[in-house]
Structure 1
Amino acid sequence: MPPVEPVTTTPGNTAQSQVTSSQLPGRRRRRQTKPLLLLALVVLLLLSIGGSILGQRYYSPEVSTTPVAKTTIKKTTAFVAPPLSSQQIDDLRHLSTHMQDRQLAYLSVARMSLAEEIGQVMMVEYQENSYSPDLDAMVHDMHAGGVIMYQRQINTLAQTRADTARMQKRATFPLLISADEEGWNVHRLTNIYPPRLSARDIHDSGSTTVAAREGTKVAHDLLSVGINTNFAPDVDVSSNDGYIGWDQRSFGSTAADVIKYVGPYMKAMQTGGVIATVKHFPGLGSAPKTTDPHAVFVTINETKQQLYDKDLLPFEHFIHASDKMEQPGIVMTTDEFVPSIDPTYISELSPTFVTDILRKQIGYNGVIVTDALTMLGVQVNGQHVPLADAGVMALKAGNDLLLGPQNAAEMRVMVTAIENALKNGALSKSRLDDAATHILTLKMERGLVPAVPPANS
């Protein structure tokens, strides 16, 4: 078909050009109306086509890179996002607050001296039965980020309150003051409060109400003496003949049971104002009864699939729990050897476990604390790792808080080891910054440190 020639009109070439003045106004209105109608139709068509393409490009789960033929374009309804649920709104608010606290924590860390920053990543213990000059040197002079207390230091209500208050007063930054208050055989407050139910007792009760009640009691008792952090609950999935289960420290022999009873227990404890810690990542449930990592090297002969199908499930569940009070403030790693996943390093010194699995795969962005780095299970290639070296390795693997120095002398050695690692490149400054920021973010979120910009920021 030949191309259509454009039509030109000249005065007098059609009858339509001969109009009277009386006809002109009406004719002008009709000539103006037709182009406007045509333009409106074109705009509507373009909007329809554009909306369809945008809908396919941005809201379809699969986007084809093949050009769409005109004949296949179908008019679609405009995309309207569904309203957010109250849970989604709460999640967004929580995320916003967390990001704000993290940014403020980062600014505060940036203004710390190197000595202050290194001190913040250490949780120290002390050998005396009450506040001592040695402890003062760690919390005041070397800026420790936390202190762990044991039964020998928790003697009376008045004495313990006085000691924890003095720690906080002398600390450079507010402290995480912790204890292992699990119940039954792991009961640090036994000099002040009566025995409490074990994890197995709670499981055997069959009652989540009992679990919540025990969590509430633990929070009350710890806060009454100035302890704000509990290295509990255990989320190890263990049978009664395993190391954890035999000592009645496990909430169940299945992941489902552990989740069922730990949830209300941890929620009640954190609602009561105490920071909860889930342990022992990646799971000590399969450790035999005779293999206590405090005394021996522990090997877990599970396949990768077994670990993912059982041991890791409670950690993943609580890290992503819909109820924020069921999300732990801290995750504790431990010194077990799982050759099916890392044939070289125990889990708490393993970048594979701490960074690749816990941080990246599971998606945990809170504080990670080591188990005690003085334990005899801290070995590599059959050799015990000295405390200071273990601290550097643990930081490099992705841990934030180092549970280890037992006195000021050991803390000084660990500080020096970290300083040297920063100088020789064995440890990056960004990793240290990240660890300190995680710790300060937690302290801000739990009200220990004011969530305000640092002075002169």
Structure 2
Amino acid sequence: MRKTMILIVLSAVLMGGCVSDRTFDRSIPAIKDTLLPFPSKETIDLAPSDPVEKLLASMTLEEKVGQLVIAGFYGTSVDEVTEDLITEAKLGGLIFFGRNVESTSQLVGLLNTFKRIESKIPLFLSIDEEGGSVSRLPSDIANLPGARTIMKKNVLNLTYEEGRAIGYALDEYGFNMNFAPVLDVDNGKSNSVIGSRSFSTDPMVVAELGVLMARGMEEHGVIPVVKHFPGHGDTAVDSHAGTPIVKHPMDRLNNVELYPFAYAIERDIPAIMVGHIILSKVDAKVPSTLSYAVMTGLLRNQMKFEGVVVTDDLGMGAISADHTQAEAAVLSIKAGADIVMISHGRRDPFKAVAALKKAVLDGVIPMAMLDQKVRRILRLKLRFKIDQTPHDQVDVGKINEWFNELRKK
């Protein structure tokens, strides 16, 4: 296994410190104004001295294209194929599922192994940790209340506390990105796909609680990726198996489905996951993850989102019924995504990278478009001081103490 000097480029060129150097106060301050914005992102001058521009100028085409992909992998250790995702495909990040987790010691060791593999730019190391029914942490970690349970407790600070607790635990293991919280507004019907993963049937409650949870994660250096834009709460079809369609008029969408995302965007949410949902009043032909009208026209231009756009897994049924993951990756990046998620198939991430590279060389994806997407990704990694520092063994007792305190409230 090849080793690396920690943060070969990004720490030396972009950072003055790293997340692991910080200590965090576990006390919970009172939240007097829940409408405060997220901490302001750094204003970076687009001059030749800009460190992001310097790094971007030094990157090869392969390195740029790799940043556009977060991939799943198989097994609980790193084999040659998995290592090649980083050294050959030069991926920007990885996502961990239950199939990758056996125990706390195994998971910490696995994350540390990835951090020690030679990588010019630090990896997004991501997971789905919502609390409740969607949790990927080892079985020796207590389960946190889900979104609906938190809302029913009617304790505003509890949502913020849970976000901090999740951020603390993920940072302890070595993760730096979390695909949570859920900003879908539940339709209150028994056929809802999202159900109790949503905070509420009230879009204002979803918005406020979701932003509070995200803010708590940020406090521990974990990137919150809110989901599933433009809203999966009023759908009866699960996008893992088919294509959900939302047919509501725009005034309803603006007041319900889109409201929590608009609220989060106004408060500088750093990243949004787009779901495989057909928004028929915007683009009735393709899922949002493949739609220029949704990702660029609606999310970028109308809602003014300047952060990183990530797709849901392109191996899900809503996409795989009509496209290979490689085909979908090109369509999605061209339509407005910054990062595509490829979680199925050991060779599919490599095929996606090859297809994206060919699309750039053929002019299907203009170089200026590629550079803008990579620029956003690098700025996000800078903003959260992503590094490759290995972590010591996790203190499960401390995490469980905090988690159990929240369960009792």
TM-score by structure 2 length?
A: 0.81
Partner of 1:371, secondary structure, is strand
What is the deviation of 1:190?
A: 4.2
In structure 2, how many angstroms separate the alpha carbons of the residues matched to 1:299 and 1:117?
A: 34
Q: How does 1:395-434 map to 2 (within 5 A)?
A: 395-406=333-344, 409-434=347-372
Partner of 2:90 in structure 1?
143
Q: How does 1:253-292 map to 2 (within 5 A)?
A: 253-288=201-236, 291-292=237-238
The answer as to whether partners of 2:69 and 2:353 remain within 8 angstroms in 1 is no
- The residue identity in structure 1 corresponding to 2:348 is E
Partner of 2:121 in structure 1?
173
Q: How does 1:77-226 map to 2 (within 5 A)?
A: 94=40, 97-99=43-45, 103-170=50-117, 171-226=119-174
In structure 2, how many angstroms separate the alpha carbons of the residues matched to 1:173 and 1:245?
A: 35
Q: How does 1:388-399 map to 2 (within 5 A)?
A: 388-399=326-337
The answer as to whether partners of 2:41 and 2:383 remain within 8 angstroms in 1 is no
In structure 2, how many angstroms separate the alpha carbons of the residues matched to 1:174 and 1:147?
A: 11
What is the deviation of 1:127?
A: 1.3
Counterpart of 2:312 (choices 346, 368, 371) is: 371
Partner of 1:178, secondary structure, is strand
- Structure having the larger proportion of residues in helix: 1
**C-alpha distance after superposition, 1:54-85 (max 9, x if no partner):** xxxxxxxxxxxxxxxxxxxxxxxxxxxxxxxx
Structure 2 residue 263 is matched with structure 1 residue 337: no
**Residues 405 and 193 of structure 1, relative CA distance in 2, 3 Å threshold:** closer
**C-alpha distance after superposition, 1:185-210 (max 9, x if no partner):** 10101423111100000111111121
Partner of 2:258 in structure 1?
312
**C-alpha distance after superposition, 1:61-110 (max 9, x if no partner):** xxxxxxxxxxxxxxxxxxxxxxxxxxxxx99x946535569943233122
- The residue identity in structure 1 corresponding to 2:68 is V
In structure 1, how many angstroms separate the alpha carbons of the residues matched to 2:71 and 2:88?
A: 13
Partner of 1:391, secondary structure, is helix
The answer as to whether partners of 1:244 and 1:250 remain within 8 angstroms in 2 is no
Query: Which runs of 5 or more structure 1 residues have no equivalent in the other structure?
Result: 1-89, 322-326, 451-457
The answer as to whether partners of 2:76 and 2:106 remain within 8 angstroms in 1 is no
409-418 or 329-338, which moves further after superposition?
Answer: 409-418
Q: How many residues align?
A: 350
Structure 2 residue 182 is matched with structure 1 residue 234: yes
What is the deviation of 1:296?
A: 1.1
**Residues 385 and 398 of structure 1, relative CA distance in 2, 3 Å threshold:** same
Query: Which runs of 5 or more structure 2 residues have no equivalent in the other structure?
Result: 1-35, 389-409
**Residues 190 and 201 of structure 1, relative CA distance in 2, 3 Å threshold:** farther
Partner of 1:286, secondary structure, is coil
The answer as to whether partners of 2:207 and 2:261 remain within 8 angstroms in 1 is no
Q: C-alpha root-mean-square deviation of aligned residues, in Å?
A: 2.3
The answer as to whether partners of 1:154 and 1:191 remain within 8 angstroms in 2 is no
The answer as to whether partners of 1:301 and 1:340 remain within 8 angstroms in 2 is yes
**Residues 202 and 173 of structure 1, relative CA distance in 2, 3 Å threshold:** same
**Residues 135 and 358 of structure 1, relative CA distance in 2, 3 Å threshold:** same
Higher relative contact order (CA 8 A, sep 6+): 2
